[in-house]
Amino acid sequence: MEFPDQSDIADLIDPQPHPPFARVSYEPSTETLTDPLATVRSELDRLPLDEIEPGATVAVGVGSRGIHRIDDVVAETVSVVEERGFEPVVVPAMGSHGGATPEGQREILAALDVTEERIGAPIDARMDVEQLDEIDVDGTTTPVYFSAAALEADAVMVINRVKPHTNFTGRIESGLCKMLTVGLGKQRGAQAFHSTAIEQGYVPTIESLVAAIRKSVPLLGGLALVENFHEETGHIEAIPAPELEEREPALLDRAREEMATLPADEIDLLVVDELGKEISGAGMDTNVIGRYRVLNAPDPETPSIKLIYARGLTDATSGNGNGIGLADITRQAAGEQLDLRKTYANALTSGSLAKAKLPPVVPNDELAMRVALNALGGYDPETVRIVWIENTTDLAEFYVSEALLEDIDDGVTVENRVQLAYDDGTAAFEPV
């Protein structure tokens, strides 16, 4: 794809004066586990490992999210399983991610440092599934698919972070239940799930599928992690299979209270340096930016953001730019990072097509800011409300325009005043 160059765009929109900015930091009080691996060990005692035969194979489902110390947590889980006399095998539980290929899913795990050498166990990344059942979800017939690799094991457990989901709001969102139904459903299961969930609702679909899976799979349960504002592990809890739907809502409430948010509800322009699948399933956390863009799912009420400029992708997302469609403008560097095969595999499976749309692409930051500020209409550098962040999870430090300083949340500290400058079109903040 050939994008417009500087000469094609520069004369269309005049340069805009920039507002003064401030670098701010946010340090809310929060809890962090001092020894999460010891907690992993003690919590695994709550799963019924003693009910399976010595020498049995235990499949451990692991997803694609950039969870704090996920490599350590997986390695410690593998060690405990081995010490109990069982044979662990890690199975990628990430639906269609990685282009819906075994190689792509291994690549994602490797980016999280979850490799066979690191964790001390084999990884079976086959995409094959078996159909366990066919169920009715409020009048919609839905096939129940499950990973063949996991089914070959004598017992199954999953590890995942519990947090608000990027497509919907409900008593159960992103966590162990969704990993079982979507992650271990691989591409076929993920596609079947989303097709029904978009029509009948995500929570009823998750609950119906979990019940069906529990009937057919030797399910131990899972290890749930909750992260704090700083994306560090604040809580770890093993949940036995019969208690999954009952226990997850309380952990979700805790995660929602701890999650990072933007400092204001009314924002004119949000600039995001990077998006990626390890940051959020939608590339940018939709609960942070206030945009779901999913059929039959209303967007969050807050924050209200007029325009979003996404500057690029993370290295770890390996070209999967799902979520770029949540932005209103991007730059050529992001376009060149895109792997459309991976992006489309993710978007087509989920049915969330808007997230894969490509917004207008401009050559560099200087022109992108011209376009964005002009598109706001009636632009005034003295009153414009701009927030500039690294990504939607790392919100301990960011930049805001001066007009926002009076309205930002308590706990935000102004570190210094800065100005926006450009080096060959690339933005940088310089002290005033």
Split the chain (432 residues) into runs of 10 and give each run's mean pLDDT: 87 92 87 94 96 96 91 98 97 93 95 96 98 96 98 98 87 95 96 93 96 97 93 95 97 90 92 92 90 78 93 94 95 94 88 91 96 94 96 92 85 91 95 91
**Which pLDDT does position 121 carry in this prediction?**
98
User: Would you say 62 and 114 are in contact if contact means Cβ atoms under 8 Å apart?
Assistant: yes
Question: Residue 221's closest CA among 172, 177, 163, 189?
Answer: 177
**Which pLDDT does position 26 carry in this prediction?**
85
Measure the CA–CA gap between 362 and 369, rounded to whole angstroms: 10
Q: Which long-range contacts (CB under 8 A, 24 or more apart) does 379-384 make?
A: 379/16, 381/16, 381/17, 381/18, 381/19, 382/19, 384/19, 384/268, 384/269
User: Would you say 309 and 324 are in contact if contact means Cβ atoms under 8 Å apart?
Assistant: no
User: Would you say 401 and 24 are in contact if contact means Cβ atoms under 8 Å apart?
Assistant: no
Question: Dihedral sign, CA of 419, 421, 427, 430?
Answer: negative
Measure the CA–CA gap between 280 and 173, rounded to whole angstroms: 13
Measure the CA–CA gap between 212 and 126, rounded to whole angstroms: 22
**Which pLDDT does position 347 carry in this prediction?**
87
Amino acid at 2: E
Return the percent helix, strand and coil in the chain, to nearest 5: 35, 25, 40
* Six-digit token string for 412: 């935000």
**Which pLDDT does position 231 carry in this prediction?**
84
Domain borders along the chain are: 6-27+261-431, 36-258
Measure the CA–CA gap between 15 and 10, rounded to whole angstroms: 9
**Which pLDDT does position 212 carry in this prediction?**
97
Strand order in the sheet with 426-431: 361-362, 329-331, 304-310, 266-272, 386-389, 397-401, 21-26, 412-423, 426-431
**Which pLDDT does position 282 carry in this prediction?**
87
**Which pLDDT does position 214 carry in this prediction?**
96
User: Would you say 287 and 167 are in contact if contact means Cβ atoms under 8 Å apart?
Assistant: no
- Written out in words, the top-level CATH class of the domain with range 36-258 is alpha beta
Measure the CA–CA gap between 216 and 205, rounded to whole angstroms: 17
